[in-house]
Structure 1
Amino acid sequence: MFEDQLQAVNELITTNSEFKVLHDRHYELDEKVSELSTGPIDDFTLEKMKKEKLLIKDQMAAILANHTK
């Protein structure tokens, strides 16, 4: 995620608490989605987590865009 802006992402993780919380939650959801995708889980729960993950990514992208201006 945001591989082309890795330096800015790392800077935001250390300087912007909101971005760090979003980053940590996104990572947590990514791990859960990957783990649960291979086992039995209801589709509603999996889709809910995927949507939350996308929302967080959009929020992170907005913060990143403001940071790199």
Structure 2
Amino acid sequence: MNCLSAVTHKLDWSGAFPGDFGGVRFPGGIVRSARGDFGELCIQEYQGEDYHFFYQFFSFRKTSF
């Protein structure tokens, strides 16, 4: 099972970087991002021959209650 599929049940994930994404972009990795009133999330998964890693970027908007 792909680890990213376990967290997709409540967010509308895209297979592209957010337009204004300023973080590291790993060539050949799998990218998923979601954007909403809460802010944005971007997750990259990369698997090499001897390693497997995730890079996560979160940008949340402050809301008042």
Q: Same fold (TM over 0.5)?
A: no
Q: Which has the higher helix share?
A: 1
Q: Which has the higher strand share?
A: 2
Give the structure with higher Rg (CA): 1
**Which has the higher relative contact order, 1 or 2, with Cα contacts under 8 A spaced 6 or more apart?**
1
Give TM-score, length-normalised by structure 1.
0.30
